Every structure is written in C-alpha cells, then in structure tokens.
Amino acid sequence: MSNINLLPWREAAKEKQKHNFYLLLGGTCLVAAAGVFAVNQYFNLLIDSQNQRNQYLQKEIATLNIQIGEIREIKAKKAALVSRMNLIDQLQSSRNTSVKLFNQLPDVISNGVYLSALNLKEDNIDVVGKAEAYNRVANSMRQIDKTAWLGQTSISSIFTSNTPNMSLSEFSLHFNVLHEKKTTK
C-alpha cells in the first residue's frame, strides 16, 4: 500500500474550517451588533417621539390652566355683579317703603287709635300708640294683615293707662313688610 500522508491536508482543512468559523462568528457578531444598534435607535426614536408628545401635552395643559384661571376670575366677577344687582334690586324695591307705609297708615289704622312712635328697621315695623278700646287695635291688626305688602302682625303688649281725662290703652305691636321675591339668573 502506498504511504499517503494526509496530515498536512487535514491541518489545512482544520485551519480553513477555523478561519471560516471565525469569519462566521465575526459576521454574526457584526449582524448582532448592527441589530442591537438598530433596535436601540428605534427605541430612542420612540422615546424622543413620546417626549415631544409629552412636551406638547404639558404646553397645552399650561394653556388650559391659564384659561381655567381666567374662567374662575370671570365667574367671581359675575358672582360679584349678580350680588350687586340683587342689592340694587333690593334697595330699589325698598326705597319707597316709608312713603308707601305713610300713605297706607291712614287706611289701616282705625279711628280711635293714636300712634306715638313708629320705628322702621329693615323689613320690621314697630308701632307704639294708644287706643280708645282693645277692639280698635285688633281691627287695625286685621286691616294690616289684609294688605298685600304688610303682614304678620303681632302685639307685644297692651295695657290700660290711666290718663286724667280719658282711659286709653297703650299698646305695642309689630309687623313686617312683605316683598316679592325676584329671582335672577
């Protein structure tokens, strides 16, 4: 048999196989590194895009907060104006109360009832006077209750006072001024 030495050929094949393995390993590492770099760039692009959206939202939130503050100021101004308008309405409705009261008093106070003091405080009217008889005071109270804008009469005290010429009963009563309630929007 012939003596063939295959050792150098095997060595060359092993070297070639080793060389191909290292080339394949290097190529795989390069492809893996390129893939990692590409994925990293893709995620960085997504993060930058989300950060831009977040900045836009923050800017819009700040704009809306400013608008909400302006709306609150407008609502506060509106409430103040409505309050002033209600006060003006109340003052206008009550400015003629004393004139109307003095015009109405002769109609509601019976003959034989003499008023010595009349005190108007807000919507409450206190009257002090003298009467010839109890029923005249009661009649005056009924007349006051019949009016559309006066009512809720109550007598505080009534007693007989001895005056030298005639016997008069002193009384103290109070009643309220009734206002129509106006609603404003």
Q: Are residues 102 and 140 in the same domain?
A: yes
**In a shared domain, residues 58 and 35:** yes
Q: What is the mean pLDDT of the chain?
A: 86
21/40 Cα distance (integer angstroms):
28
Among 95, 128, 151, identify where a domain stops: 95
For 140-182, how does the pLDDT look when each residue is reduced to its tens digit (9 = 90+)?
888 888 888 787 888 877 777 766 667 788 888 888 887 655 4
Report how far residue 113's alpha carbon sits from residue 170's, in angstroms, rounded to the nearest whole number: 10
Q: What is the pLDDT of residue 183?
A: 47
pTM of the model: 0.48
Mean pLDDT of 38-57: 97
Average of per-residue pLDDT across 126-146: 86
- Residue 75: pLDDT band (50, 70, 90) is very high
Query: Are residues 15 and 90 located together in one domain of the fold?
Result: yes
pLDDT at residue 47, as a whole number: 97
The reported pLDDT for the residue numbered 185 is 47
Which of 168, 104, 164, 103 minimizes the C-alpha distance to 131? 168
Domain that holds residue 44: 11-95
Q: How far apart are CA 182 and CA 93, in angstroms?
A: 10
In a domain, 4, yes or no: no
In a domain? residue 51: yes
Q: What is the mean pLDDT of residues 33-56?
A: 97
For residue 34, is pLDDT > 50?
yes
Q: pLDDT digits over 87-116, tens only?
A: 988 888 777 777 888 888 888 888 888 888
Q: Distance between the two ends of the chain, CA-based, in angstroms? A: 122
Question: What is the radius of gyration, based on Cα positions, of the chain?
Answer: 51
Count of alpha carbons within 13 Å of 156, Cβ hemisphere only? 11
Mean pLDDT (whole number) for 34-51 = 97
Q: What is the total count of domains within the chain? A: 2
Which of 2-16, 24-38, 109-123 has the lowest average pLDDT?
A: 2-16
**Same domain flag for 35 and 65:** yes
